[in-house]
Structure 1
Amino acid sequence: MHWKHALIARVDARVHAAPVALPADAKLGPDLEYLRVGVSGVYDGAATALVRAATERGTGYWTMTPLRLDDGRLLWINRGFVPAGTTRAAAGASAPAGKVSIVGLLRSPEPKGSILQSNAPADDRWYSRDTAALAGARGLGAVTPAFVDVQVEQAAAVPALRPVPGLTQIKFPDSHLSYALTWFAMAALSLVALAYIWRRA
């Protein structure tokens, strides 16, 4: 319970903080999850990948596009949600040309796939945001071991189709009290049942 409450407090503080520079790759890790960062660079729209997503807007895809940062690093950006039926070509064409500035939340890679389905790079079917596998499938070479969920995307010219940003799931279940009450109730009922059996015996 204390660990979960500390996690919720830490994430809540991060998502509302002023954006900071992207840390060096050597410092990236799960302890920086949901850190609010500001980055800028140029998109490689042709390398866009669509990753299956289920959101408050329904089922569809996360639009993952690599961004070449000003410092030369390559960083995958989750530009946001597009509905089912969107093609990879259309999603790629939605990436603004030229310099782009982004504010978003730093996220850890999601290796291999979802709980139910594994990524299939050969068929370009993606069920998790596995940045290394995405880069390998697109022939991009080394990439930053993290990705960014866009909150704000600024560019000189924005195409008509725009993925919907800001849908990062940042709510965590905090059901410790209900768990405790459930188990204590089951224990009490067990004692009642034992007392009943003892009296009948």
Structure 2
Amino acid sequence: MRKTVLIPLIFGIAGVAVLVWLGLWQLERLAWKEGILAEIEARVSAEPVALPEVVEPGADRYLPVVATGRIGPRVLRVLVSRKQVGPGYRLISALETGGRRVLLDRGFIAVEDAIPTPEGAMTVRGNLHWPDDRLSSTPENDVAGNMWFARDIAQMAGELGTEPLLIVAREVAPPEPGVTPLPVDTGHIPNDHLSYAITWFSLAAIWAVMTGAFIWRQGRAAKGAGT
């Protein structure tokens, strides 16, 4: 085999092999991520327990809890948007229960709607959560104007005088008119491994075609030179 064909063939095979390996690795990561998401879903939907006295953010993330208490009158508004609904606010209030004050994510309300002030005891079923809403592009919270862009637990707890502990409501009884709970789920956890795998396999196919075309052109050029 001529050197003009052998060298590009070696590079072509090596390139395809590397790209296919990257695609297979992404499929392995996909299976791993799907297992993690399944575990989280199972934990989120488990039978709720009473609010623990001591919590650990790592161990108790997504823990289903049930608590009865009164919602404080002050509300922190976190700007969010829902598909097919538009902009609105997550309502964050203090939940006073059993001598404790914790943060409660009550759910979503449209910007134009009036924020209800619940009266009497309410039973909340939800999940403990330590959300990571803040990105490099997220503005700082406008505390004075009550316009929040991220659920910064420590800062919110300081404003409302609660423990740095957030319950994200899944169900509230009696329900709050106009407030739609935004329960914890796995929708916020990215899982792009399948698209990455398709990309690598596509690049492997393109690399193989380009290598074949290059070798074919080299062969034709060599034949033309020999005639």
Question: Do Structure 1 and Structure 2 share a fold, with TM-score over 0.5?
Answer: yes
- CA distances 1:24-68 after superposition (whole Å, capped 9, x unpaired): 34x3214433221101222211x2111011224322110111112
Structure 1 position 145 matched with structure 2 position 173: no
Instruction: Report the counterpart of residue 76 of structure 1 in structure 2.
Output: 103
Partner of 1:65: 93
Whether the 8 Å CA contact 2:130–2:166 is kept in 1: the answer is yes
TM-score (ref. length: structure 2): 0.70
- Cα distance change on mapping 1:174 and 1:181 into 2, 3 Å: same
Q: 2: distance between equivalents of 1:59 and 1:187? A: 43
- Which residue pairs with 2:180 in the alignment? 164
> What one-letter code is carried by the residue in structure 2 that aligns with 1:165?
P
What secondary structure, in the 3-state scheme, does the structure 2 residue paired with 1:18 have?
coil
The one-letter code sitting in structure 1 at the alignment partner of 2:62 is Y
CA contact (8 A) 1:109 1:146 kept: no
- Where has structure 1 moved over 6 Å in runs of 4 or more? none
Alpha-carbon shift at residue 114 of structure 1 (Å)? 4.6
Residue deviations 1:100-126 (CA, integer Å, cap 9, x gap)? 211012211447x45532222233220
> Which of 132, 153, 165 in structure 2 is aligned with 1:131?
153
Task: Indicate the RMSD between aligned Cα atoms, in angstroms.
Answer: 2.6
**Structure 2 residue aligned with 1:55:** 82
| Contact 2:95-2:102 at 8 Å conserved across structures | yes
| Structure with a larger share of its residues in strand | 1
TM-score normalized by the length of structure 1: 0.77
**2:36 equivalent to 1:7:** yes
The structure having more radius of gyration, on CA atoms, is: 2
- Identify unmatched segments of 5+ residues in structure 1: none
Give 3-state SS (helix, strand or coil) of 2:87's partner. strand
Question: Which structure 2 residue ranges, 5 or more long, are not aligned?
Answer: 1-29, 219-227
Contact map agreement 2:157 2:163 (CA 8 A) in 1: no
How far has the Cα of 1:165 moved from its partner? 1.4
Aligned length: 186
Aligned mate of 2:70, from 39, 42, 52: 42
